[in-house]
Amino acid sequence: MLASPATHTPASRSASSARDLADLTSRELEVLALIAEGRTDRGIAKELYVTPKTVEAHVRSIFRKLDLPTDSTENRRVHAVLTFLRAPIQ
């Protein structure tokens, strides 16, 4: 059964995105914000004074918590950024 278009309004998407982001730690939100700025893992590591491996661990955790597809054809970074951008500013 397909959902009606009314259930996919910008407001409902924002509320859903906010719930998804609520599961992220403050550090994961910080990493996600830097991904949204277009930073690479290496750039994020330099900005946060951590190793690239630490950033990779945060990114994997973000993907898992946002329940993003593991299919290699999907760009999970883009999906994560879209979730971040759709959430209301707090």
Q: Residue 5 domain-assigned?
A: no
Neighbours of 33 (CB within 10 A): 14
6-10, 27-31, 75-79, 84-88: least confidently modelled range: 6-10
Q: Specify the number of domains making up the chain.
A: 1
Return the amino acid letter for 63: F
Which are the contacts of 35, defined by CB distance < 8 A and separation ≥ 6? 44, 59, 77, 80, 81, 84
pTM over 0.95: no
Name the most confidently modeled range: 7-16, 40-49, 80-89: 40-49
Four-CA torsion 49, 37, 55, 32, nearest 10 degrees: 120
* pLDDT score for 26: 97
Q: Residue 6 domain-assigned?
A: no
Q: Residue 3 domain-assigned?
A: no
Q: Residue 38 domain-assigned?
A: yes
Q: Residue 68 domain-assigned?
A: yes
Q: Residue 76 domain-assigned?
A: yes
Q: Residue 32 domain-assigned?
A: yes
Cβ atoms of 79 and 68 closer than 8 Å: yes
CATH number of the domain at 70, please.
Answer: 1.10.10.10
Query: For 20-78, how does the pLDDT look when each residue is reduced to its tens digit (9 = 90+)?
Result: 899 999 999 999 999 999 999 999 999 999 999 999 999 999 999 998 877 766 688 88
Domain extent at residue 53: 12-86
* pLDDT score for 7: 41
Cα separation, 26 vs 21, whole angstroms: 10
